[in-house]
Amino acid sequence: MKEQNTLELESNKSKIELYLPHGNSAEILFDAYKEQVKKYHIRDWDEVSYNPRTKQILGASHISQGVFNYVAKDFGLEVALNEDNKFGGVSDLIQKKYYAEFNSLCVSPKKPLYERNNGLWKKAMEIGEEKFGNVKNKFRINGFYYMPDENEKGYGVKIVPAKNFRVVEDESIQLENGVSRFYLILVSILDSRFDDLAFSNVGGRVVLKESRSDTLKI
């Protein structure tokens, strides 16, 4: 009997369910986030708002995404990573109307020019050294929380590994020095050039996915 050929095919459909918080669920997440933010001694990165008319959360910066990631875990959710847009799922959600910050931090072994980033860069380099030893190349830190740190003078936060924590070497990162956000802009291009981790505007959206298989609590 002739052996049947087997085809290996890659689907263009995302296998990750992604969500934009909406309605009562968005309000619950927003309220939980605002309670958490009260614990940080520096809060100028918090421009997040809830629009009761459209029932949407808007204005999330890179730092606030890390705080949302901590809050969302209690609801069985986590903030999306840049890899979650592999098949365009995040692009489809934001519909070219908004931009999405990811729970990914880009790191260069060269010291930041932007002084405010020094504290987080040093912590990120410690994480890189634990993974690679002598850090020579750019890398990404995925899956983490930003927790309060009164000793950190830039943003008042520290990097704490989440359930999906991973450190990945990535020379394709568009970053010459320091640390940078990784976000998806209106034209569906991942960008990691800008080092102001506190930047936000009304278009910034929180994109979430399930972090475990049990029923969501919202």
| pLDDT, tens digit, 9 for 90 and up, residues 63-87 | 999 999 999 999 999 999 999 998 8
Sequence ranges of the domains in the chain: 18-102+199-210, 104-181
pLDDT digits (tens, 9 = 90+) for 91-105: 999 988 889 999 999
Distance CA 83, CA 61 (A): 18
Cα distance between residue 206 and residue 7, in whole Å: 38
Distance between CA atoms of residues 1 and 179, nearest Å: 59
Greater pLDDT, 204 or 166: 166
Report yes or no: 182 and 190 within 8 Å, Cβ to Cβ.
Answer: yes
Task: Check pLDDT > 90 for residue 152.
Answer: yes
Q: Per-residue pLDDT tens for 92-151?
A: 999 888 899 999 999 999 999 999 999 999 999 999 999 999 999 999 999 999 999 999
Specify the DSSP class assigned to residue 22: B
Distance between start and end Cα atoms, the chain: 55
* Contact yes or no for 155/198 (Cβ under 8 A): yes
